[in-house]
Every structure is written in C-alpha cells, then in structure tokens.
Chain A
Amino acid sequence: MISLRTLVSLICFLLTNGLIANTILVCNSCKANSVKKGIALASDFDTLLIKKGIYKEFNIVVDKPLTLKGEGFPVVDGEDKGEIIRIVADNVTIDGLFIVNVGTSYTSDYAAIRVVKSKNFLIQNVVLEKLFFGIYIEKSNHGRIYHNKIIGDAKDEYNSGNGIQLWYSNHVEVERNIVQGVRDGIYLEFSDEVLIKDNASTNNLRYGLHFMFSNDDVYTNNIFENNGAGVAVMFSKRIKMYDNTFRKNWGTAAYGMLLKEINDAEIFNNTFEENTIGINIEGSNRIVYKGNDFKNNGWAIKVLGACYSNTFTQNNFLYNSFDISYNSRLNDNVFDKNFWSDYTGYDLNNDGIGDVPYRPVKLFSYIVNRTPETIVLLRSLFMDIIDFSEKVSPVFTPDNLFDTNPLMKKSHD
C-alpha cells in the first residue's frame, strides 16, 4: 500500500513538473533556429533540446534557470568573435555541446562558457576546441563541472587562456574532465572547499593545475602529465592531495608540484614520476607527506627557503638522481620510515628497518645548486667519493637530516 501511494505521488510530481517545464527544440529548421532564440522563447526551468547542427553564435546569455541539452553534439561556433555562452542565472545546466572558436583578446578573458555570480550550475559532457578560456567560473558557488573535454591549441602564454578557471567560487566540484593544450589546465584563485577529482590535465603550456589563495580544497586521483611547469600550489591552507599522478614534467623550471607558502596540507599516496623536480617546496610548513612514490625524478624533493615541521613518512624514493636537496644547512623537518632505493645499509635484527640511518642529501646536490653545469658529473666515481666523505662528516649539508628508520622494503607497491 505504501509503495502504491509513493508511486502515485511520484507520477503526480512528474506530471506537474512536466506541465511546468517544457522542452523547446532548437534546430536549423525549427522555430527556434538558434540557441539565443531558444533562450528567448523559454521560460524558467525549461529544457532547450539542441539538435545536431552548426549554430554560429556568440554572446549567448543564459539569464534564466534552463537546461541546454545538445543532441549528437551540436556545434556552437563563435567564429572567433568573442565569448560564447555566459550564465548569469542560478540552476543552469549545459550538457552535450560542442563549442568552438572562442575569440582571442588581450583585454577581455573571453571564455567558451562563463558562469557569473550564479549558483547550482552544472556543466557536463561539453567539448571545447579552438578556445581562449574554456570554462570560467566567476563568483559562483555550488556548481559542478563534470566530464568535459577541453582541447586547446595554445602556442604562446601571452595569447592563450586557461582550461577551467575558478575565481572566487566555493564548493565547486571539478570531476572527470580532460584538459590539454591550454595555458593552465585548471586554475583556481580565491576558491575554497573545491573538489578536484579524476581529471587529466596534460600537455598544457604552463601549469596542469595552478591555484592560489584557495583553502580547504581536495585533489584526488588526477593525472598531471607533460605540462610546461607541472602543478603550482601557492598561498593556500589545509589542502588535501591524495592519489594524484604527476609525470614527465621536464624542463628548467619544471616540477611535478611546486608548493609555495602552503601550510597544513596533507599529501598522501601520490606518484611523482620522471619529473625534473618531483616537489619543489618553498616556505611551506606543517605538511605531511605520506605514502607517496617518487620515481625516476631528477630531484625527488627540493627544499628552498624556510620550511618547518614537515613530515615525510612511508614514502618510496626510487631511482631519483637526487632524493632530497636543501639549499641551507638548517633542517626542521622529519624524515622517518621511508624507503630509499639508494640505501645501502643492513638490517641485522631483521625488523624491516635499516640499522644505519640514511642521509638523503648528497653533497653533489649542493654543488649542482651552486654550479648547475656540474650536473654532467652525475654518477662519476669522483662524485661518489666526495659524497661518501660528506656522508661521513657533513660540512655543507644539514647534519641532522637523516632518516633514522629507513625501510628495507618498499612501504607500498
């Protein structure tokens, strides 16, 4: 009986809703033969069903709560004239559009889709090509950017824009997007409590992910690969970064991740592989690095400037040219129970922990910091001899920096 009543009420609800929310067809031969006309014809909570076709439009303003749904990926072609869709109302959904040719400008940040001061937006299944900025969220909270594909063809930083940009926007979820070939893949500024999950940001000119002044954000399971400078995380608090992969960020100032003025973050179970620098840390305090893999990086971790009370534990340091590099003799960070592939000690009592502490900072890394050309002497016998003598009696490197409990086996696979 109860289930029947539930069913009846559900049907009633659907019917009444259906009566209010109409579906408006947009196609080349329809009454609404453009998106703009469709929006003009629609009333609140209507759905615009945009049929397959090419719609040469720009400056489309969505000013009421609508759902713009594409069928068979209709193309909205901005013909390089400017911004294409601007959302200025709450509860707007954009779904399944193929948006191309956003205008490039040196004065305005034209975007394929811009959301301004609106709540509860949903942008999904959208494909963006030939863009300047992709999805630009401005002072808009509680939205979701899901399963979009942004393929840029940026050549120079000065005339290219970002893939997904959040500015003063809190509580946004950015999930399962693919961003490539733009300036910064995902850019956040002044945006708190954002969840960035399962995205792939690759081959971007500058950063795969770039964020500043954004607190309490969570990043999980993202892949950042082959970006000009990797990922930059700056001036933010209480960030959680779990299970991300940072790969192949090669170059002079390239790193898997740059941490600058970051406090109280948790960096767990990430993989840093084949980056010139795995993590570059500047002025960041009370960060916990746990369970990460640093593999085949030039420098797994490079510490610059004052960094206090950071903890590195249960990480795997595998075949990096240098594990840790410091530019000063001071150390206030704790290294404990990590696995170091360069560790040559022994474990006589068989408790899985090496009996001799491991010193991850080599003298050679200090020399290379000073005279970069000396990098060509990496792995030479002479350097090994010098490193050994420094190991025995540290002169240039922090003498209290060692892992007292180096693991004999990888902490995890």
Chain B
Amino acid sequence: MIEITGLHKKFGKNEVLRGIDLDIQSKGIVAILGPNGSGKTTLIKSILGMVIPNRGNISISGNSIKNQWAYRKEIEYLPQIANFPGNLKVKELIHMIKDLHQKPTNDEQLIDLFGLQPFLNKKLSTLSGGTKQKVNIVLTFMFDKPMIILDEPTTGLDPKALIHLKELIQYEKTNGKTILVTSHIMNFVEEVADEIIYLLEGKIYFKGSVDALKKQTKQKNVEHAIATITQNSTHV
C-alpha cells in the first residue's frame, strides 16, 4: 500500500526526517510512535502531500505521490488539532466536505453515535475541544476509503466517545482497511495496534508487532517497552 524510500525533510536547520524507509503492505492497524518532535506528524503529512519532502519518494498503491492530489481520494485523514473555519456551522462543514468529495457517506449514523445532534446548528468556534474532535472524527470516518490516517485521535475525548472511537477503528479494520495511527496513549495503542513503528530523531527505530516489541524489550506492556527503548536509545 504505502512505500517510502529515503525520505528526508528539513525545516530550516532542523532535520526532522533523516531517511525513512517504510513499507506498509498489510491491512490492519499500524501505530506510529515516538517522542515529541520525532517526526510522526511530518511523516504523516508527507504521505498526505501537505509537507513536501526534500529527498526520497513516497508511493501509494505503486504510484509516486509527487505533485499528485487524486490519490487523497483513497485516504481519510484525521488531523491532530481540530482547526476548523470558525464561522461555519457544524452542519455546513459536514455538507461542505461531502460536497467536495461527492461520495456516499454515513454521516448521520456517526452523528448519532457521538451525540452531535444538538451541535449541528452551532458555529464551530463555539464548540469545546472535545466536541470539535468528535466533529473531526465524523468528517474522517464518514467516507468509505481503503486507507485511514489518524493523528492523535484520542485528544480531548470523553471515555464514552473513546469507546466509540475504538469500536469504529476495529470496525474499519474488519472491513479490511489499512489504518495508520499516532498516539501518546499507550493503552490505546496496545489495544488497537497490530504493528508498531517507533520513530526516533527522524529515523525508524523499531518496526514490528506489539508482541515482538514486548519480547525485544522484555517488558509486559507497551508503555514500559517504549520507555525502555527510549532509555536505551539515549545511551546509544
């Protein structure tokens, strides 16, 4: 599905990605982990074409994405910070995104699921962070696309919404989709991820299944495993 070779990206003097090679062929859920500033979001944005890499190539379904845009029809993206045009109403925003895609959606079902009904006629600027994130999730999951990229999807969610989100992710997984997710909540990762990619200082430090990670670090849960990796790396 996604093939990345020799990806480099600098922001000014700050080298964020230093040669990422990545091949995600499997269906299922891939978690991208790493400390702050390790390049997770940059990597995701590169895949989406929002960040233009300095070097390297990204191919999706065998085609390079450079200067392309149509491939995004196959990707659902949940941005990290839910920033929306403030003076739009929720309903209008959903309508607009639907209008831009011209594809069938199941937005009503999702609105029900997250209890957004009372907010539909409110302006986005008046919503709380968590409600915005729910809107964000609705916008992401309402289409039926083979690939889903989620950047910190749990931010600001209440427990109930978090459960719904996990269900959604599981549901999409069973539909045979490829799901890329970043998160700081290790429990969440442990629960949903099939595979883990650990980024450190712009490089892939670990790639493998959750079990492989635990085995390698000899830890019982992901949280400790990650902590161990980070510790080791600082000694390296």
| Direct A/B contact, Cβ within 8 angstroms | no
Binding site for B on A (CB under 8 A): none
Binding site for A on B (CB under 8 A): none
